[in-house]
Amino acid sequence: MFDKDDKALIALEGLGLLTMNENFKVVNKIKYNPNSLNSLSQKSIYKIFVDNDNIYWLGLREVGIDLIFPRDNAFKNISYVPYKSNSIPNNYIRSIYFEESGNVWFGSENGLSKLSPEGKWTVGIVVNVVTLKLVCPQSASGS
């Protein structure tokens, strides 16, 4: 994954997030620090997405989503709040997808959810699964 400044973003289990320049030199190490609000919320990053504003959206193993604003080095965490109606449904984030309309979709251990540009969560989304046929080319020998 690359950010809008062409820096490579690499998540390393237990170490956090590295940013590297085009010469593969590490230019920033973003780590978890339990004593700082200006750090990762934990060490395990499962998904990285960079939006059009160059904000890093990190899907985390146990504590939701970290947003990193690299231009001013600010951090924000979005996590599940029990019994709150407008909350992400689970803290185990596995996938992140952005729509051009501004909606952000999240895959978690509790299924699919959507965050609108206005900050409203839609949870428990059921998706109709379409069965796809995989077409594999055969060699001249038929294998």
Burial degree of 122 (CB within 10 A; 0-12, 13-18, 19+) = middle
Per-domain residue ranges of the chain: 8-125
pLDDT of residue 98: 94
Q: How many CB atoms lie within 10 A of CB 50?
A: 19
pLDDT of residue 141 exceeding 70: no
- Between 142 and 64, residue with greater pLDDT: 64
The total number of residues shown for the chain amounts to: 143
pLDDT tens across 59-106, in order?
Answer: 998 999 999 999 888 999 999 999 888 889 889 999 999 999 999 999
pLDDT of residue 97: 94
pLDDT of residue 131: 47
Residue with tokens 């596995």: 94
Residues 6+ apart with CB under 8 A from 61: 42, 44, 45, 46, 92
pLDDT of residue 124: 78
pLDDT tens across 19-55, in order?
Answer: 999 999 999 999 999 999 889 999 999 999 999 999 9
pLDDT tens across 94-138, in order?
Answer: 999 999 999 999 998 888 899 999 999 998 776 655 544 455 555
Q: How far is the CA of 135 from the CAs of 88, 116, 131, 143, in angstroms?
A: 37, 36, 13, 13
User: Does CATH number 2.130.10.10 belong to domain 8-125?
Assistant: yes
